[in-house]
Homo-oligomer: A and B are copies of this chain.
């Protein structure tokens, strides 16, 4: 009887345990017991990790011998590597580690491994954590900071060390080699010694995985924590303070990467406070860092409540400084000219600053894309951005090539992603948000990779059956047809869906003032600075909608290079995806679909809602292929996303209808919300969020 009960108990444990996953293992779930032998003549903590990864994850021929070799090879760039089934060659230890992860990924994704050289597109592939020292994360939707929990709680626990190690491994597995530990809205305290000591502890854990540590710094630090009277970059005491501080940092962290600076932007102090310009400020810091090969990443995200179109201001401010920055300064430019909107045209600074290193800043955390609720695979948006043609040096001058060093002579090439990582068990809040962390790493490594390839890999690694056919490394046909293909298509459609139900046709910045979540095209409280209100951006009136950025309007189009500028300026050639970004367009304007603009707008919003409903169906149908915990979590969020999409559609159409005075086309589904109800909800949310 006891035996029977025990048997039953074991059975229950097994059957409820089957398939339960909480997402903490990310895309690194696979384990293997297939024996493999790994040898390397060199020994280092990084190489040890590479060897261990191969031993724990090997899914190739049993008993295979793998050789890791540090080599001199002109075809290898930075941490690039050469692989085949039996060897990994690289110039650096990190290169061997990346090679090991590449082989394992291909095995687990069922891809072939031929002799091949794999080089990174950018030297510096960096995550920006917007983590505050108090443990909160600005625009973070996955729990509190993994690095900080308050300046009174700086001691390092074994839990911290474990988590940072997992974090470092995940980054290394996709080629991320740098991280900024704190928010760009930086507390001066980050440069105090106790905080730096904790940063050193992080750096020590990240280092073996090939990851360098950076800090975001406050320009006023010399005054605030240094006790100086000024932070003027021309002041000798200020310069000396920064040099001394940098020296202190390098004593603690010998391979420290450098500083990230948000200056004279949204209330942050900067060189302009002292009558100096951005180059003056950045170069002063660059001088301090230069002896240690440290760099300064200086953000171009600047705008004032002036009469000038906000979309033009960064260009206006930085272009005159082109050529004035030291070669260890990199100007960090957000992908679009406003602020991480669901869809933006690329910032005109890309390719335009020819004598300055410019790096793209992507937002992995989804401030404007539905945060931790909406399923949005951002790789397609980043791919669209990276492959955008700037024409700055003729055909082929894509944003990617204007920033990777292949066109302009530059000491560094870099790309940053604002991290979406927190203490949530699954790291990113939404199980599918892990795909964006993954995709950022993959695209930073290889900016020519397709989003479809990334989605394919990620799904196999993250949701694939644990034991694939060892002979062929291939996936079951049913899994492929009934899970992988539809779910991959959902991911690939997800960004466009979000654009459709939030801000189609080039609309932007029409979100609620409440935490940048949900619709708020109406939001414009009395006295609020105009460039923080949606009506500034959508400009809806009885005639039409959209921001006129032609020569008759703000002329922002002139910041782009021909022939693009001409194409954008002409209503007939401007891509419809950006139509209302660049033009104020009549409600009755005939679109390519042959619909009027108003009707097209209705169709796009409606399409977005339908797309999410389709995602819900796709996911529900995938139920039998997914563990219960992650299935339910994603299903719950998709349902919420469906309702949010409806809210966006109804809010925007009912609000804009007050201007267009036209009916929503009768063939479309009618609103589920009334406008007054949506306005009241928004008012309450804004009130509560204060």
Question: In the complex, are the beta carbons of A642 and B617 less than 8 A apart?
Answer: no
Specify which chain B residues have a CB less than 8 angstroms from the CB of A613 in the assembled complex. 669-670
Question: In the complex, are the beta carbons of A621 and B666 less than 8 A apart?
Answer: yes
**Interface flag for A639 (CB, 8 Å):** yes
A636 and B664 alpha carbons, distance in the complex (Å): 15
**Interface flag for A671 (CB, 8 Å):** yes
Kindly provide the distance from the CB of A463 to the nearest chain B CB, expressed in whole angstroms: 19
Question: In the complex, are the beta carbons of B623 and A663 less than 8 A apart?
Answer: yes
Interface string of A601-625 (1 = CB under 8 A from B): 0000000000001001100110100
A673 and B672 alpha carbons, distance in the complex (Å): 13
Specify which chain B residues have a CB less than 8 angstroms from the CB of A616 in the assembled complex. 670-671
Name which of A613, A640, A643, A673 has the most chain B CB atoms within 10 A of its CB: A643
Question: In the complex, are the beta carbons of B673 and A620 less than 8 A apart?
Answer: no
The residue that A639 contacts in the complex, of B621, B623, B636, B671, with Cβ under 8 A, is: B671
Kindly provide the distance from the CB of A220 to the nearest chain B CB, expressed in whole angstroms: 45
**Interface flag for A646 (CB, 8 Å):** yes
**Interface flag for A572 (CB, 8 Å):** no
**Interface flag for A466 (CB, 8 Å):** no
Interface string of A544-555 (1 = CB under 8 A from B): 000000000000
**Interface flag for A674 (CB, 8 Å):** yes
Specify which chain B residues have a CB less than 8 angstroms from the CB of A643 in the assembled complex. 672-673
Interface residues of A in 638-690 (CB under 8 A from B): 638-640, 642-643, 646, 663-664, 666, 669-674, 676-677
Specify which chain B residues have a CB less than 8 angstroms from the CB of A621 in the assembled complex. 666
Specify which chain B residues have a CB less than 8 angstroms from the CB of A673 in the assembled complex. 639, 643
Specify which chain B residues have a CB less than 8 angstroms from the CB of A676 in the assembled complex. 636
Question: In the complex, are the beta carbons of A674 and B640 less than 8 A apart?
Answer: yes
Kindly provide the distance from the CB of A61 to the nearest chain B CB, expressed in whole angstroms: 41
A669 and B642 alpha carbons, distance in the complex (Å): 11
Kindly report which residue of chain B lies nearest to residue A668, judged by CB atoms: B617
A264 and B623 alpha carbons, distance in the complex (Å): 53
Question: In the complex, are the beta carbons of B671 and A617 less than 8 A apart?
Answer: no
The residue that A670 contacts in the complex, of B642, B663, B672, with Cβ under 8 A, is: B642
Specify which chain B residues have a CB less than 8 angstroms from the CB of A623 in the assembled complex. 663
A447 and B643 alpha carbons, distance in the complex (Å): 44
A669 and B643 alpha carbons, distance in the complex (Å): 12
Specify which chain B residues have a CB less than 8 angstroms from the CB of A639 in the assembled complex. 670-674
Specify which chain B residues have a CB less than 8 angstroms from the CB of A617 in the assembled complex. 666, 670
A636 and B672 alpha carbons, distance in the complex (Å): 10
A666 and B616 alpha carbons, distance in the complex (Å): 10
A672 and B644 alpha carbons, distance in the complex (Å): 9
A620 and B623 alpha carbons, distance in the complex (Å): 38
Question: In the complex, are the beta carbons of A666 and B636 less than 8 A apart?
Answer: no
Kindly report which residue of chain B lies nearest to residue A644, judged by CB atoms: B672
Interface residues of A in 141-175 (CB under 8 A from B): none
Kindly report which residue of chain B lies nearest to residue A610, judged by CB atoms: B669
Question: In the complex, are the beta carbons of A672 and B620 less than 8 A apart?
Answer: no
Kindly report which residue of chain B lies nearest to residue A637, judged by CB atoms: B674
Specify which chain B residues have a CB less than 8 angstroms from the CB of A620 in the assembled complex. 663-664, 666, 670
A623 and B661 alpha carbons, distance in the complex (Å): 13
Specify which chain B residues have a CB less than 8 angstroms from the CB of A674 in the assembled complex. 636, 639-640
A620 and B670 alpha carbons, distance in the complex (Å): 9
A643 and B671 alpha carbons, distance in the complex (Å): 9
Kindly provide the distance from the CB of A310 to the nearest chain B CB, expressed in whole angstroms: 35
A676 and B671 alpha carbons, distance in the complex (Å): 24
Kindly provide the distance from the CB of A640 to the nearest chain B CB, expressed in whole angstroms: 7
Kindly report which residue of chain B lies nearest to residue A640, judged by CB atoms: B674
A642 and B638 alpha carbons, distance in the complex (Å): 20
Additional A-B contacts beyond A620-B670, A621-B666 (19; CB < 8 A): A616-B671, A620-B664, A620-B666, A623-B663, A636-B674, A638-B670, A639-B670, A639-B671, A639-B672, A639-B673, A639-B674, A640-B674, A640-B677, A642-B670, A642-B671, A643-B672, A643-B673, A646-B672, A672-B672
23 A-B contacts (beta carbon < 8 Å) = A613-B669, A613-B670, A616-B670, A616-B671, A617-B666, A617-B670, A620-B666, A620-B670, A621-B666, A623-B663, A636-B674, A638-B670, A639-B670, A639-B672, A639-B673, A639-B674, A640-B677, A642-B670, A642-B671, A642-B672, A643-B672, A643-B673, A646-B672
**Nearest 7 interchain pairs by C-beta:** A616-B670, A643-B672, A639-B674, A642-B672, A636-B674, A621-B666, A639-B671
